[in-house]
Structure 1
Amino acid sequence: MDRTRVPAYLVAAAGAACAVALTVGLTGCTEGMSSVDRAKAQVTAKEKAVAAAEAELTEASAEFCGASKSYIAALDRYGDVLAETAPTVGDVREAGADLTEPRDDAFDGAESAVEAQQELVVAQQELADARAALAVAEAGPTGSPAVPSTAPPTAAPLAPTASVDRVKQADAEFADAQAAVTEETPLAEASEQFNSAVVALEMAWLNLFADAGCLTDDQQVQAEAAVGAYTLALQQDLAATGYYAGTVDGVSGPMTVQAIEDLQKANGLPVTGTVDKATAAALQAELLALGGAAAQDSLASTAAVQQTLKLLGFWDGPVDGKWTDELTEAVQAFQVELGVDPTGAVDAATIAAFERAVAEHQAADAASLEPEPSTEPPSAEG
């Protein structure tokens, strides 16, 4: 028996140990390796580190999207505090306290995603350095290394700075509104302050949610279409009441926000630039007060909701353009069926659900009209 032969499994184990040693900077296993082999091993190790960092970023981003979605749902749930049958100041303050945990989870998720992104940048830089070192080793002491001409990796923001800043601002404004509510605060004032602040915060988080890539491509397209349709109708109503003088194009910009703020100022509401329940009610009241075409447009919008719900089997009342408690209940029933938050209000998510449901209904109707193939044998003529 040859006692000098080393079993193959020991050779393999030693090679694995050396690979580990390279990743942590040890040199005991590399004395017999050439500089090129050592450089190649370093590149392999750094490539694995980059792959691991990419996986960690993907996981952290998914956790952030999940946490922010839960927080947005909580904000939406409490954004309708004005609609409660008998809200109290205590209800408003308790609602704010209930948002603390999902808010912390969302912010923690954002921080973790940013940290994971920074770690990926470090790993990518170390890989670039390892590849440059490999090029030098392969060139030898007298050669000219072909160093890869790649720009140093940079940390692109996970979301636009403006979206992040708007969330921070809305979060601070919400905290101020919550702190201002005391036992002595009139109920109507407490509800309005809380509602306007939480709606503004929800809209800011919705923008961040989309900008951070938390929507799939299909969801992004549907969301943009629904929001565009809603914004177009809003601009039309604001123009009819004299608050908006810009182009009615379905794109929300500074002039749209200013028109909403002017409407809120004129009606003694908190000035947020976003449409909450009280703002929508004020706008509808002004449209109805104008009468004529403006009033008809407002009634037509409600009638369209009634007609759509009737088509889908959720409304059996009249199509008369009058919004009643029964219509709110029908909207809520539809929202539950379609997996949309049952707010009873026709928001962007509900509009998108309307469009999908109507399209499916029309497709089903078209299929039912197609003639079925005959199973009877053809009769003989003559």
Structure 2
Amino acid sequence: MGTLRTRMPARLSAIVIASTVAALILTGCAGEADPVERAKAQVSAKEKAVAEAQTELTAASSAFCGASKDYITALDRYGDVLNDTAPTVGDVRNAGADLAAPRQDAVDSAEAAVTANQALYDAQQELVDAQAALAEAEAGPTGTPTEPAPAPSSTPLAPTASVDRVKQAESELAAAEASVTDDTPLKDAAEQFNSAAVALEMAWLALFADAGCLTDEQAAQAEAAVRAYTTALQQDLLVAGYYTGDVDGVYGPLTVQAVEDLQRAAGLPVTGTVDKATAEALQAKLAALGGAAAQDSVASTAALQQTLKLAGFWDGPVDGVWTPELTAAVQAFQTELGVEPTGTVDAATIAAFQKKIADLQAAAPAPSPSPSSSDG
């Protein structure tokens, strides 16, 4: 640079310097003279940034829906291994190991969606600030700026409760895995894993729905009905003194245990599944308690009838009375789902129904959750 400067003619050097100074002066003057145009440019740039952030969130949300569906499918295959007629402890362990990759993909995609959601919120906030600056510039030093746009709200992509339930179910499955050794009886290993795996699958299905991955209104209603049935059952079992967990609508190990305890107390076969006799025993227990418990004693059966009605397998009354016709409807429903048509409601049946709902949406484009909507 020193060599070039010494060889440059003095007159040319003066012209270059003068032009540079003039450009700087004119730029400064233009900036000072037209703050409105400068503010408009900022708003335009921020609007573009919001559009780009929304596109990124849409893509991230779609990726999460795809990855979580793959993980749910892997969990379902895991349940198939556990329900096999002759699984080994090695099968159980190997199937559990096969969950690692799809689980990581689901977790990674969830984190990416959360990051994209935050980026959209930040971009929206910057746009609001730019619009406020433009309003001030247009009003001038003596004017009154127009009312600023409302600040954006940062809304999670899914309710915190759904996310927490997934984390809890993941921990329960990890505990079930840790409890199995080479000396664990195969039957016990399968039971431990099955209830934990079903609970995890259902927790992810709930998150899948809450995150907006179910687009069909009827499917969403049916998924909600399944959770309503389990919630009503848990509430009845809680009032009856058999359930000690959270009433969260997830048919997990504690729900199975509560049903088994009820059956033992009633002198019924201990299956952990709800049939006509078990439902009647629960209703009798609640009726004996009297008061509000007696009034609510039919809630879980009524919720089951509503679920079957939405699925097209029940055209009778939603009255909370378990009849032979209801047993037949449950069996027909189970046949359609591809599970054993026992006429009783168990975790596998509920999980199969929720997976069926998710499968119905496989061909539908993944929606983009609205970050400006209110938290569910």
TM-score (norm. length: structure 1): 0.60
In 2: Cα distance, 1:49 partner to 1:182 partner: 54
Aligned residue for 1:332? 338
| Distance in 2 (alpha carbons) for counterparts of 1:299 and 1:77 | 32
Is 1:162 the equivalent of 2:179? no
Q: Name the counterpart of 2:329.
A: 304
Q: Structure 2 matches for 1:216-231, cutoff 5 A?
A: 216-218=215-217, 219-225=219-225, 227-228=227-228, 231=230
* Cα drift, residue 207 of structure 1: 1.4
Correspondence 1:279 to 2:278 = no
**Cα distance in 2 between the residues matched to 1:139 and 1:351:** 56
TM-score (norm 2): 0.61
AA of the residue aligned to 2:197: V
Distance 1:81 1:112, change over 3 A: same
Aligned 8 A contact 1:75 1:99 in 2: yes
- Percentage of matched positions with identical amino acids: 51
**Which secondary structure state, in structure 2, belongs to the residue aligned with residue 146 of structure 1?**
coil
> Does the Cα contact within 8 Å between 1:163 and 1:207 map onto a contact in 2?
yes
CA contact (8 A) 2:79 2:194 kept: yes
Question: Aligned partners of 1:125 and 1:255: how far apart in 2?
Answer: 36
* Equivalent pair of 2:135/2:145 in contact (CA under 8 Å): yes
Counterpart in the other structure of 1:44: 44
User: Retained in 1: the 8 A contact 2:201–2:351?
Assistant: no
Distance 1:131 1:289 in 2: 64
1:206 — aligned with what?
Answer: 205
Give yes or no for the alignment of 1:263 onto 2:254: no
Unpaired segments of 5 or more residues in structure 1?
1-26, 247-251, 269-276, 310-326, 336-342, 355-382
Any conservation in 2 of the 1:136–1:145 contact (CA below 8 Å)?
yes
Instruction: Give the SS at the match of 1:215.
Output: coil
The aligned counterpart of 2:75 is 75
* Corresponding residue for residue 195 of structure 1: 194
Note the C-alpha offset of 1:60.
0.7
Look up the match of 1:180.
179
Tell me which residue corresponds to 1:134. 134
Q: Is the 1:159–1:208 contact (alpha carbons within 8 Å) kept by the matching residues of 2? A: yes
Kindly indicate whether the alpha-carbon contact (under 8 Å) linking 1:244 and 1:259 is maintained by their aligned counterparts in 2.
no
Answer whether contact 1:226 1:352 (CA < 8 A) is retained.
no
Aligned to 1:357: none
Contact 2:203 2:250 in 1 (8 A): no
Whichever residue aligns with residue 75 of structure 1, its letter is L
| Aligned counterparts, 1:52-63, within 5 A | 52-63=52-63
State the Cα deviation string for residues 99-120 of structure 1 (Å, max 9, x = none).
1111111111110011001111
- Aligned counterpart, 1:323: none
Q: 2:6 corresponds to which residue?
A: none
Deviations 1:139-184 (A, max 9, x none): 22x3234154344333111111111111111111211211222222
Aligned equivalents of 1:157 and 1:43: distance in 2?
26
Deviations 1:36-89 (A, max 9, x none): 111111100000000111111111111111111111121122124342011000
Contact map agreement 1:42 1:130 (CA 8 A) in 2: yes
CA distance 1:158–1:28, change in 2 (3 Å): farther
* Match in the other structure for 1:340: none
Cα pair distance change 1:82/1:259, threshold 3 Å: closer
Task: Please tell me whether residue 105 in structure 1 is matched to residue 111 in structure 2.
Answer: no
- Structure 1 residue 30: Cα displacement: 6.0
Contact between 2:198 and 2:347, CA under 8 Å: does it hold in 1?
no
Q: 1:201 to 1:350 in 2, by over 3 A?
A: closer
In 1, are the aligned partners of 2:132 and 2:149 still within 8 Å (CA)? Answer: no
Paired with 1:289 and 1:103, the residues of 2 have a C-alpha distance of: 40
| Aligned residue identity for 1:201 | L
The Cα shift of 1:352 comes to 11
The offset of 1:303, in angstroms, is: 3.0
2:120 alignment partner in structure 1: 120
Structure 2, unpaired ranges of 5+? 1-23, 241-245, 265-269, 285-300, 302-320, 358-376
**Aligned counterpart, 1:362:** none
SS of residue matched to 1:86: coil
Q: What's the secondary structure of 1:79's corresponding residue? A: helix
SS in 2 for 1:39: helix
Distance 1:149 1:53, change over 3 A: same
- CA spacing shift, 1:212–1:333, aligned 2, 3 Å: closer
Hey, what's the Cα distance between the residues in 2 that align with 1:163 and 1:157? Answer: 11
1:92: Cα distance to partner? Answer: 0.5
Separation in 2, partners of 1:304, 1:107: 38
**Partner letter of residue 90 of structure 1?**
G
Partner SS for 2:338: helix
CA 1:67–1:208: 2 relative to 1, 3 Å:
same
Higher relative contact order (CA 8 A, sep 6+): 2
**Cα distance between partner residues in 2 of 1:289 and 1:128:** 59
Q: Is the 8 A contact 1:47 1:127 kept in 2?
A: yes
Check the 8 A contact 1:163/1:208 in 2, yes or no.
yes
- Displacement of 1:263 in angstroms is 2.2
